Amino acid sequence: MNCHRCGKPLPEKCRRNQIYCSRSCSARASTLRRRNGEPLPPRWQHSALTADNPALRAAAEHAQQLGQARGWSPSTTYCVLDGLITVLDGRSADERVPLSEVRTRPHRWVSRPRLAEVLTDLGLLTDDSVTAIRSWIDRVTSDLASGFAEPARHWLMVLLDGDTRARPRSPSTIYVYFGCVRPFLERWATRYDHLREVTRADIGAALEPLNGSKRSNAARALRSLFRFAKKRGLIFANPTTGLKARPVDFALLPMTDEEIHAVEQLATDPAWRVIVALAAENAARTGSIRRLKLADVDLANHRITLAGRRQRLGDLGHRAIRRWLDHRRATWPNTINPHVLVSPKTVHGAAPISQIFVNLRTQRTGCSVDRIRADRILHEALTAGPDPLHLTLVFGISHNTAARYATVAEHLLSDELEHLPAD
């Protein structure tokens, strides 16, 4: 492409809307245009907006409207239009685009989530990809011996998809379970040919060096694996029958002054203040806080709906949410994300914040949201009395979990009575 005034070739690394080779040519052309009374040249338009393909042109116009509605930067919009040219050029109007092609064909500057969002709105995207966790299951189980690989793979797939008698588990649970049993399976594969040869003595020897939460998680994972194998007829007897995976109660202790001070220092961030307030007042889990939507918050009546339970919103949470909403409104006024908490990566869509968004802030203090939540439940048990029914009604926890907190509270209260000075 050449300069519109002097005819010299434009530099190789120039803007796509550049028509002059230098500022001098641009200034002289502007002077001559004003002197001769000529109108301004037409504004540059992306080639996707003027394409001969009607499907591509309609998709480009929709992408431009969607970018304006959701606050995309001009560079993001232009790159999405580039991606539309790559995946739609030469296709018919009703031909759908595979998701694998969206992820591989466009150049590296194209935002794949934004491009997929445009195609999804137009009904032109088909998901032909394999989820990451399914690929991970195939990869990690292929490294095991055949007598252990097949039972482990079927077990992980049932955990992922569920069946008629079991609900699907989250990917994080699957990662933890297999991470616990993998060393045992690799060790047993050196001595046995199949999972059915593992005995109760092998289970005890594997768990013997473990303590605390590591032992509890490993016991749960082993019990789940062998229970599944027994139901499917892959083994003759379940060696984990009667194996107890007792919860670790040493974590159910009040927070120390150092932990409280660390959380106070971190609560200067508006988003983190909301997380701390909901965990400290309502004993909310991380998942409930992440998925909290604007429709679930009733600031006028001091009410909030967490995990489907409508409850009172305390003064600390009320002030934190109001401050965060003011910050959100000033920072991202055009976002359509329905969730209360958003991040720079989620303001352009409708997804909640990720677990990593929360973990990155908690790792700096060494005090997780679950730790704050447990301290709140334990404080209620110490204040209102160690009554499991009361804890179940207030926080919506199971009776077994409430009994754990009540037991710890009884021990703490009895220790305090024993150390009171005699009259």
**pLDDT tens readout for residues 172-219:** 889 999 999 999 999 999 999 999 999 999 999 999 888 767 888 899
Q: What is the mean pLDDT of the chain?
A: 86
Query: Please, are residues 378 and 408 in contact by the beta-carbon 8 Å criterion?
Result: yes
**pLDDT tens readout for residues 244-299:** 755 545 456 788 888 888 778 767 788 889 998 999 999 999 899 999 999 999 99
Distances (CA, A) of 258 to 146, 264, 276: 50, 10, 16
pTM of the predicted protein model? 0.58
Given this model, what pLDDT does residue 70 score?
A: 81
Distance CA 18, CA 28 (A): 15
Q: Which of 224, 329, 333, 316 is nearest to 267 (CA)?
A: 316
**pLDDT tens readout for residues 331-363:** 998 888 999 999 988 888 888 998 888 877 676
Average pLDDT over residues 41-54: 83
Query: Please, are residues 114 and 72 in contact by the beta-carbon 8 Å criterion?
Result: yes
Helix (H) or strand (E) holding 311: strand 309-312
**pLDDT tens readout for residues 156-168:** 999 999 888 778 8
Given this model, what pLDDT does residue 358 score?
A: 81
Average pLDDT over residues 11-32: 78
Given this model, what pLDDT does residue 250 score?
A: 47
Query: Please, are residues 83 and 99 in contact by the beta-carbon 8 Å criterion?
Result: no
Given this model, what pLDDT does residue 325 score?
A: 95
